[in-house]
Structures are given as C-alpha cells and as structure tokens.
Structure 1
C-alpha cells in the first residue's frame, strides 16, 4: 500500500513538472501600443482571438503609462529582457527611436503596426496605408465642401508616420480645390490638451468652417467642444477611426464621415503572422515588407452596419 502511495505521488510530481515545463516552453508575443486610447480595444480583441488559436504561445497586450518614446523603449527593453520571442509595436516616434528599434529587432522578431519604421530592423509592417486613408478623408472634404473652406487639423503625434502620411494624403487630395488646411495642432496624446486645442482654435480662427480629427480621440474632442459652443452642424467635421462618439456623430449627421482602419485585424493577423515567422514560415511577407489592411469610409449610409459588425467583434451587444 505504501509502495502504491509513493508511486502515485511520484507520478503526480512528474505530471506537475511536465505541465510546468510545457508552460515554460511557450513563447511570448507582445503587442505594444503608443498610448492609452479606446482605439486600441479592437486590436486587443484581435489579440484575444488569436490567443484562442495559438495555444502554444502566450500573447500579451501592453499599454505604456504615458505616450513617450523613452517609456515605450524601456517597456520593449523589459520585454526583451523577460524573454519574449516577438514584439509588434506602434512606435511613438519612429524617427528618434531608430537605435532602440534596431536593438530590439536584433534580439527578437520585430513587427510594426499603425505607424511604420521602415528604416529599422523590423521584419514587416502590418496595418493601414495612412496615405490612402488621408486621401479618403480628403474625398470626404471635397464632397462636403464643394464651394471650398478653411480647415483646421488636430493630431496626437505629428512626428509619427501615421500622422504625417494622413496629413499628406489630405493635402494631396484637396490640392487645386478651394479647400485649405491652414494648420494642424498636436497634443502628444494628451486628451485634455486635445480638447483645449480645439477650444483655442475656435476662438483664434473664427474663419475656420472645417475641422479634421487625425487620431481616434481627436474627433470626439472636436465634437464635444462644438457641442458645448452650440456650433455642431455649422462646422464640417471629418474624422479618423471608430470611436463611439464619432460614429454617433456620423449617424446623427453632425460628422460628415470617418475613415476607419481595422485594428482588430492588426491584433489578430499580426500575432498569427509573428507565430508563423517564428516557426520558419516567411511566405506571407511581401517583397516590400508591407502587409496593408485596407481602410474604408464610413458615412451615414453604412454606419449602422459597420457599428453592428464592430460590436460583434468586441463581444458587445
């Protein structure tokens, strides 16, 4: 009896050690964003979906406590030190983070999303063509302002490729028209400052009859300030991304439209592709190392259908 008991204990210990070893063998993949914003909830849902299909990996989603290149760099260095196998990152400032990204990319599989860093050691970019997205926003402006207008833009990180490319796309599309983008104000992903920027411009530039929110939270800030000022419907608003306030404004007609990305796919496809890469499959990487997930225009004609799809993906009713 004693022998049987000892044998049972030994088996239990071996089983426990085997399970621990199996858990320790799992590779960790991290998705690192550029700041705290509801925009990233869709990407987080995509990562969660990927986790259900990648049982041999541990997937983590990381928000920096502040939108800072230094803080984001420290976060990636800590992840590398902890033994992660791959990182997908939306770099706060790709131009100043070159050395840091190269350091990370020389140690783990590095992919970029949202804002690319093409001169770094990243393996591929998975995300939108921000230039095309900017052109789509420009198309919304041309349709909404056939007689021209003076527009003010608002953005989080003007040095990031996603911001610069969106702005350039808008400018390229409205070139030669009577629409002018007179300025773009930055807020460093500080939402209090984002709102204050709109308030300041409303006072300093009464001639402005059009506002563009280039980051996901910028359009809700515009909406809130104009609502408080009693100017909703008087100033044309064009946005980016799918914040609920933005979609509500599109539905009620106070926002002309918004150009939406597919961050859910960045999270889902990005994690799956990183796993493929680590397993030796590089066939999915195109020659230009750009995996483009298309953007689309959401206006009053398709906002209800889009919102229903978005809620379903995020597990909401």
Structure 2
C-alpha cells in the first residue's frame, strides 16, 4: 500500500505538468478523466470542447490531461493516476499499454478508446473512424479526378507508423485501392512524429525520390500543409492529388485555396461528448452501448462542400 501511495503522489506531480484542471463544486460526485495524446492540439481540443459540454450537462467533474507532444509513456502515467484515483470513467486514444485497459476493467472503471482501437482488449467501447469507409471516400475522389484507368502511385505520411491507428489506415488503403481498375502502387510510407518541420523534410525526401507520385495521403493532421508547400516548390502540384485528415483551420484554408484536394473529417467533439454520455448511461442506468464499436459520421471535405460541411455533419448526427 505504501509503494502504491508513493506511486500515486509521483504520478500526480507529473500529471500537473500535462494540463490538469482544478476540481469544481458539482452536484454529482462522479469524476471522469480524458487522457489526451495531445493536450493543446487544435483537433484534440475539439474533443475537449465536447468533454466540457457533457460534463457541464451532467454536472460531473472532468479532467483533460496529457502531454503536448506524442509520448505514450506519459499517457500511461496519466491513466495509471486515474485508476489509482478510482475515476468513474476514462477516455483515451488506443495507443496506450493494453495492460492498463485490463487493470481499469478489473477495478470496475469503464474505459473508452477513441480515434484508434485495441479490439482484442477489455475496453468498454471504441469510438472512431471507419477506416474502410475513409479509404473508400478517398478512392472515390481520386477516381473523380483521374478516372479509373490511370495507375495510381501513392505515398502516405502518418504520425507514427508503429501505431495501430497508422497500420489500420494503411491496410485499408491497400485493400480498397486494389479495386482501382488501373492498378496502384504504394511507393513510400513516412513518419511525421507529429512535428511539422520533420513532416516537410520527409515529404521533400519522398517527392524528390518519387516525382511521379500522383496521390499523396496525409494521415497526420499536420502533414498536409508541408506536403502542399513542397509540391508547389517543386512545381509538381498540378500533377499530384493531396489529401488530409481532420479539419484544422489551416487544412480548411488550403482546401478553399486549392492547395490540397480534400480532407476526411469526423466529429472529434463527439469523442468527448458521446463518450461521457455512454458512460453516464451505463453508470446511472446499467445501459451498455448496443455495439462496443461506435462510428461517428465521416465526410470528405472538398472545395465543393467546404462552406457547408459543418452543417451537414451536424445534420447527420
């Protein structure tokens, strides 16, 4: 017990560096933890907005804690803190140590994974993109531009190629793009490490080595901008389709300006709001989700719908 208390104190000190909020007086004593992979990232802050709204609605206390750069060890520490504190529920990305998911279950704590999954784990539920649908939306838009007969030469950039989310997205691209009648070749996969400087360096290397690439896919949200910049600098932008994920302001601006061709977007807001809703329904009424996999609405944003997609996304919820 003494060692566990010492561990708790040490982890709490670390958590204070990653964005812990001050507890507030609430009507409900329930406490939920969102162990975010990126504390101040534009896209993940949409999940925080959903979290805050749900916690206000249900009158519960919530913490938003995590590192400012990708660091799974620090995420693990934050989750261990939540388990030791006997949080009523935990939300996190599925890049954490799977043993912590099992530990949460054994302690009676529902743990929801968002954005990337560990399907063989004991998680309470998973909420994230349908990666097959994502690949299908991309192929449909590619064929709208290039037709069905041209061979596709593809390069992909992810944040971390070792992460399950990256592997799943790449595998679905391979599976779905096999249906393209003109054939396809995946010529390169690079890592941004969630760093925009590295992202540009990697895209410069890739596009210099493979100047005949005609499809560039950015599964790291920060990668689309350096990809577009590099293509323009090399005067090959008109020969290459560039796709992104998520709807960061810079990404939406690039779509409007024609610097990239499209981005796959989903509701990160729901990662926060709907996760709290699912856990409250379970804790208060014993109601489990009908499926342990929950897919939010997915859309391809292009120049044609860039001004209306947010309304359409909300209508489909």
Q: TM (normalized to structure 1)? A: 0.81
Is the 8 Å Cα contact of residues 64 and 75 (structure 1) preserved in structure 2? no
Q: Structure 1 pair 309/131, CA: closer, same or farther in 2 (3 Å)?
A: closer
Is the 8 Å Cα contact of residues 138 and 174 (structure 1) preserved in structure 2? yes
SS of equivalent to 2:120: coil
SS of equivalent to 2:238: coil
Aligned partner (choices 238, 244, 255) of residue 243 of structure 2? 238
Is the 8 Å Cα contact of residues 64 and 71 (structure 1) preserved in structure 2? yes
1:76 match = 79
Confirm whether residue 180 of structure 1 aligns to residue 181 of structure 2: no
Is the 8 Å Cα contact of residues 266 and 298 (structure 2) preserved in structure 1? yes
Residue 215 (structure 1) shift: 2.3
Unpaired runs of at least 5, structure 2: 1-22
Aligned partner (choices 136, 149, 153) of residue 152 of structure 2? 149
Superimposed CA distance per residue, residues 133-166 of structure 1 (whole angstroms, 9 cap, x where no aligned partner): 1221222222222223311100012233332222
Superimposed CA distance per residue, residues 111-148 of structure 1 (whole angstroms, 9 cap, x where no aligned partner): 11100112212111122212221221222222222223
Task: State how 1:110-259 maps to structure 2 within 5 Å.
Answer: 110-146=111-147, 147-175=150-178, 176-259=181-264
SS of equivalent to 1:247: helix
Q: Which has the higher contact order (CA 8 A, sep 6+)?
A: 1
Residue 228 (structure 1) shift: 4.1
Q: TM (normalized to structure 2)? A: 0.81
2:19 match = none
Q: Structure 1 pair 21/250, CA: closer, same or farther in 2 (3 Å)?
A: closer
Confirm whether residue 89 of structure 1 aligns to residue 89 of structure 2: no
Q: In structure 2, how many angstroms separate the alpha carbons of the residues matched to 1:228 and 1:50?
A: 45
Q: In structure 2, how many angstroms separate the alpha carbons of the residues matched to 1:38 and 1:155?
A: 17
Root-mean-square deviation over aligned CA pairs:
2.6
Q: In structure 2, how many angstroms separate the alpha carbons of the residues matched to 1:49 and 1:21?
A: 14
Is the 8 Å Cα contact of residues 140 and 238 (structure 1) preserved in structure 2? no
- Runs of 4 or more consecutive aligned structure 1 residues displaced over 6 Å after TM superposition: 308-311
SS of equivalent to 1:233: helix
Q: In structure 2, how many angstroms separate the alpha carbons of the residues matched to 1:233 and 1:53?
A: 48
Is the 8 Å Cα contact of residues 38 and 70 (structure 2) preserved in structure 1? yes
Superimposed CA distance per residue, residues 11-31 of structure 1 (whole angstroms, 9 cap, x where no aligned partner): xxxxxxxxx997596121112
